[in-house]
Amino acid sequence: MALRASLSFSSIHQQTEFCFVRPKWKKKRLVLMTAHRGRGPSSRIVRSVLDNRKSNINGNGATEPARVLLERLFAQTQKLEEQMGRNPYLPQVAELGLDLGELESDLLDALAALKKKEEDLQDTERKILMEYNEVNHAKLELEQREEEIAAASSRQEKLEDELRQANLTLASQAAEIEDLKFRLKERDQEISAAQTALDSKTDEINKMKGELKNKSDEAANTESELRAKAELLDAANEVVQRQEVELQKLRSKIQEKEKELEDFLTMQKTEEEKLEVTKSNLEKQAMDWLVAKQEMKKLEEETSKYGGEANEALEDFRRVKKLLADVRSELVSSQRALTSSRVKMEEQENLLEERLRELEEQRRSVMAYMTSLKEAQIEVESEKVKLTVAEARNRELERDLSMEKQLIEELQNELNNEKSSLLVALKEKSTLQEELDRKRAEFGETQDLLQVKESELVDARLEIQHLKSECASLQLMLEEKDKELQDSRKTLDELNQEIAELRVLMSSQEVQLIQATTMLKEKEESMQTMQDELNDTKMKYSEAETVVERIADLTNKLVISVKDDVLSPLSHADETWSSQLVEKSTETFRWQKNQLENELELTRESLRSREMEALAAQRALKLKEEELKMVRQKLDDREEEINKMKEMTRDADDLMQLYALAQERIGEKSTGDLAIEKLQLESAQLEVEAATSALQKLTELSRELVNKASLSIEADYNNSLLLGDSPGTAANVASSGECLAKVYTEMARLSALTEQLVKEAGILCPQ
């Protein structure tokens, strides 16, 4: 125990030193590990841990050794040491140094898996103790059940004797009851025959009554229909008469309109004749006017020839001109009268056409009206025929009703006679029924006694079978518990071996970790020296600047004092000396400046690459989160399926129990088969419960891993954005140191518990 405590304390101290060293180295190199590269090994290790847990659940304690996990972790540390030994100033070395931080989280996960194994071991130990107690309790119950079986068999023999006596008494009573039943059957047959005859006659009477009611209803309906039809006929006749009067009026109107049309046509013909006469007159006048115009032209020609006779001809010309103007005005007026008469003629023609259309429409309506009148007259005649037929049917129905009433009265008399005879038979039946009820009551009492005895006997048999089956099942359970104890001892031995191997590995790998931390310290010291050199160069650069300023002042003074001849050789020497100093200082300054600029460019490029990698890591994280959501949904679906399977197994268990009870009653199934089936069902239920618990644990683990991964990536990203010392780094280092301390305390507790389990297993083995 003391060795383990010292080992855990030293490992905690080394890990805390490593945690304090790592952030300094990170700050000085200004190169940080990317999120997706750092997650690579940790995700693989976490998966291996989860696979290990799954194998624990599914394989009934057969676990993959955790030694593989630790070998992977420490192989990565060895790679880091080798690369640091080759070239400590590479950015990959810085990344691998930061991988150590991820390895710490992987170690924590591995320790959590070991803790889980420890809890599983404690659970198995408790189960074993419980099973031992159950086995002892089952043995005691077996002895008690054997005593109960013996007592139940003696009770069964007594009950069988009592049953024989009860069966004899029952046989005698059954013979008496059978005689009474035979007599009752005969009387029942007679009564049933009479009852059937009576029922048939009552049915016939009821049918006749129903037919009578139907026929009377039909007669009333026909009478009402006849009345309604007569009223309709009267109304139709009145309508027909009205329509005939209206038709006569329409005919007279049509004749009047035809006369008006004829008068209008004659008027139109006379007007057309007048128009033709006026046209001919106008044509004559136009011809006269044209002739006069030609004569005027001739006269003008002649006047132009004969200038002397102009005065005389002018008067004639004026007269002719007046005549022509009069003729022209008459022609214009006649043309206007012609156009107006034409317009009137066209209007009259349009009016005539409209009147003709109206007349045709009226003719059509009159024709349609005439056809409808004819159809109405035909319908009235057909309705009259139907009325006569319905009246004849009504008379026939009244005759049938009177005949059926007479038949119903005769049947009613016969029915009354048969009812009186049936009452007498019913009284006889009631007396016989009373006797039978009395005998049945006696028989029922004896039968109840017999059933009580039989039930007692069946209960005794069932108790015996139940006790036998329980004995068999308990024996089977004892055998299975022995097997389980042997398996658990084997698993305990395997776990003890694994724990011992893990301890050896932990001790060897702790030494390697110490070496790695020392290497890291050396690298940090070298980085510190480089930083000091940088600071020295900066100081030299500032000193060189001051020297250059002084030299410039001196040169200015020398320029002012050039006129002085005495100081001329001295000033020349000072100038040469100052120029040499300036050249040397400027060369060194340029070289240092170029070096610093190169380093700054390198750091900027590395920062940019780190920022890009951090963004890529964030994207990868988002993708992983989506995948995790999908996994969670699948897990929820699996949980629902498992719940359904549980319900189905419960239903199947209930059905199997019912079937087993039925088979025990019948006696076809042996108690051993029933016990085996029960055990199979119990094992299936246990497997389902284990699967559900495993799924729940897996979901919890996945959530924890997601939270841890997101926190670690955010922390790395924030650290990559910082260029100098920050006040939060010391707190981060302290928290990581506390985490490691907790991890190692848990490791120590786990080893103590495993030792305790081994000791207890060693104690339990000889039992």
8 Å CB contact between 548 and 48: no
DSSP letter at 724?
S
* Residue 40 scores a pLDDT above 60: no
Distance (Å, whole) CA 319 – CA 327? 12
Six-digit token string for 318: 């004026």
Q: What is the dihedral of CA 155, 156, 157, 159, to 10 degrees?
A: 90
DSSP assignment, residue 563?
G
Domain that holds residue 387: 184-450
Counting Cβ atoms within 10 Å, is residue 523 exposed (0-12), middle (13-18) or buried (19+)? buried
Burial of 12 (0-12, 13-18, 19+ CB in 10 A): buried
Q: What is the pLDDT of residue 257?
A: 74
User: CB-hemisphere CA count at 13 Å for 139?
Assistant: 7
CATH number at residue 325: 1.10.287
Residue 321 lies in a domain: yes
18 to 97, 359, 587: CA distances (angstroms): 10, 124, 42
Count up the domains in the chain and report the number: 1
The whole-model pTM stands at: 0.22
pLDDT classification of 248: cutoffs 50, 70, 90: confident
| Residue whose C-alpha is closest to residue 752's, from 443, 503, 537 | 503
Query: What is residue 87's DSSP assignment?
Result: -
Are 30 and 606 within 8 A, CB to CB? yes
Confidence grade of residue 30 (pLDDT, cut at 50, 70, 90): very low
Q: Residue 645 domain-assigned?
A: no
Q: What's the pLDDT band for 448 if we cut at 50, 70, 90?
A: confident
Residue 147 falls inside a structural domain: no
Residue 726: the pLDDT is: 42
pLDDT of the residue at 429: 73
Q: Does 422 fall in a domain?
A: yes
Characterize 279-312 residue by residue with b for buried, 16 or more Cβ atoms within 10 angstroms of its Cβ, and e for exposed.
eeebeeeeeebeeeeeeeeeeeeebeeeeeeeee
Residue 1 parent element (H or E): none
Say which residue the tokens 């003696």 belong to: 154
d(CA 765, CA 493): 11
pLDDT confidence bin for 586, thresholds 50/70/90: low
Binned at pLDDT 50, 70 and 90, residue 544 comes out as low
Residue 550 is which amino acid?
Answer: R
Q: Does 14 score more than 70 pLDDT?
A: no
Give the pLDDT confidence of 388-441 residue by residue, as tens digits.
787 777 778 777 777 877 777 777 787 777 777 777 777 877 777 787 778 777
| Centroid of chain to Cα 666 | 50
Decide: 376 and 236 in contact? Cβ < 8 Å. Answer: yes
Residue 680 lies in a domain: no
Q: Which of the given ranges, 442-446, 703-707, 760-764, has the highest pLDDT on average?
A: 442-446
CA-to-CA distance for 117 and 67, rounded, in angstroms? 13
Q: Is the four-CA dihedral 753, 759, 765, 767 of positive or negative sign?
A: negative
- Contacts from 635-641 at CB under 8 Å and sequence distance 24+? 635/695, 635/698, 635/699, 635/702, 638/695, 639/692, 639/695, 639/696
**Collapsed DSSP state (helix, strand, coil) of residue 154:** helix
Query: For residue 118, is it within any domain?
Result: no
Provide the mean pLDDT of the chain: 66
Does residue 159 sit within a domain?
no
Only one residue has tokens 């006889």, namely 428
Q: Give the rounded percent of residues in the chain with a pLDDT score beyond 90.
A: 0
Calpha distance 665→655 (Å, rounded): 15
- Residue 223 tokens, joined: 């009478």
Q: What is the mean pLDDT of residues 463-489?
A: 72
275-312 pLDDT, tens digit each: 777 777 777 777 777 777 777 777 667 666 655 555 66
Q: What is the predicted pLDDT for the residue at 20?
A: 38
Say if CB 386 and CB 229 are below 8 A apart. yes
In one-letter notation, the amino acid at residue 238 is E
**pLDDT tens digit sequence for 73-132:** 666 666 666 666 665 555 555 565 566 566 666 667 766 777 777 787 778 778 777 877
Q: Evaluate whether residue 643 is within a structural domain.
A: no
| Residues 520/18, Cβ–Cβ less than 8 Å | yes
Mean pLDDT of 331-350: 74
> CA-CA distances (angstroms) from residue 493 to 230, 498, 754?
118, 9, 11
CA nearest neighbour of 392 among 231, 219, 233: 219
Beta carbons within 10 angstroms of residue 503's beta carbon:
15
Alpha carbon distance, N-terminus to C-terminus of the chain: 28
